[in-house]
C-alpha cells in the first residue's frame, strides 16, 4: 500500500523517493506473461493486458473484447487455490486477495462480462485443459460477436 506523501516534499524530490510508484505495470507476473505466450498468442486472440476497471480502481489480467471475457490468471499461493489451501489456514495476504477477487467478480457480473479464472497449477500441470477452456469460452464469444455483426448488416 502506498504511504501518504509527507508534507514539504516537492514533485522533483518525490521522483527520487519511495512514495512514487516505479512500476507502471502493477501486478505484472511471469505467470501472466507465460500464459499470454503459451495460450493467447497461440490461439491468435486479440486481448488487452492489464485491463483497468476505473470505477473500482482494479486491474484484470486480460480482457478479450471479441468475446467480452476477462481472464484472471491466479497464482496458487497468492490467490490460495482452494484445491491446495483450506479457508481456515489462509494468511492475511491470501484473505485480502480473496476479498479483492470477490469485488472484481461482482464488477464483472454487474457489467455483463464473463470472468474466467485460470489457475497456475492448471497452466503448469494440465495445459490441454486450459486450452480447451479457452477455446470453448472465447470461441463462443467470437461466434456471438459475428452473429451480432451480421444482424447489423443490411440484407
What's the CATH code of the domain at 130?
A: 3.40.960.10
Q: Does some domain include residue 6?
A: no
Q: Does some domain include residue 9?
A: no
Range of the domain at 148: 26-152
Q: How far apart are CA 8 and CA 17, in angstroms?
A: 13
Q: Does some domain include residue 1?
A: no
Tell me which of 85 and 3 has the higher pLDDT.
85
Q: How far apart are CA 155 and CA 152, in angstroms?
A: 9
Each residue's pLDDT tens digit, 16-65: 333 333 344 455 689 999 999 999 999 999 999 999 999 999 999 999 99
pLDDT number for residue 125: 96
Q: Does some domain include residue 133?
A: yes
Q: How sure is the predictor about 13, in pLDDT bands with cuts at 50, 70 and 90?
A: very low
Q: Which pTM was predicted?
A: 0.71
Q: Does some domain include residue 20?
A: no
Q: How sure is the predictor about 136, in pLDDT bands with cuts at 50, 70 and 90?
A: very high
Torsion from C-alpha of 38, 39, 41, 46, nearest 10 degrees:
-150
Each residue's pLDDT tens digit, 51-99: 999 999 999 999 999 999 999 999 899 888 989 999 899 999 999 999 9
Q: Does some domain include residue 145?
A: yes
pLDDT number for residue 154: 65
Q: Does some domain include residue 71?
A: yes
- Into how many domains does the chain fold? 1
Q: Does some domain include residue 72?
A: yes
Amino acid at each position: 500500500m502506498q504511504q501518504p506523501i509527507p508534507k514539504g516534499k516537492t514533485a522533483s524530490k518525490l521522483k527520487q523517493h519511495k512514495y512514487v510508484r516505479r512500476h507502471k505495470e502493477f501486478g505484472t507476473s511471469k505467470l501472466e506473461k507465460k500464459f499470454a505466450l503459451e495460450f493467447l498468442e497461440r490461439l491468435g486472440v486479440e486481448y488487452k493486458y492489464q485491463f483497468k476497471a476505473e470505477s473500482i480502481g482494479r486491474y484484470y489480467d486480460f480482457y478479450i473484447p471479441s468475446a467480452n471475457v476477462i481472464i484472471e490468471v491466479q497464482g496458487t499461493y497468492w490467490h490460495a487455490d482452494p484445491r491446495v489451501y483450506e479457508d481456515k489456514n489462509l494468511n492475511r495476504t491470501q484473505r485480502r486477495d480473496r476479498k479483492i477477487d470477490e469485488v472484481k467478480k461482482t464488477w464483472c457480473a454487474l457489467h455483463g462480462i464473463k470472468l474466467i479464472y485460470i489457475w497456475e497449477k492448471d497452466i503448469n500441470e494440465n495445459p490441454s485443459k486450459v486450452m480447451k477452456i479457452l477455446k470453448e469460452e472465447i470461441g463462443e464469444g467470437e461466434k456471438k460477436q459475428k452473429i451480432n455483426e451480421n444482424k447489423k448488416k443490411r440484407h
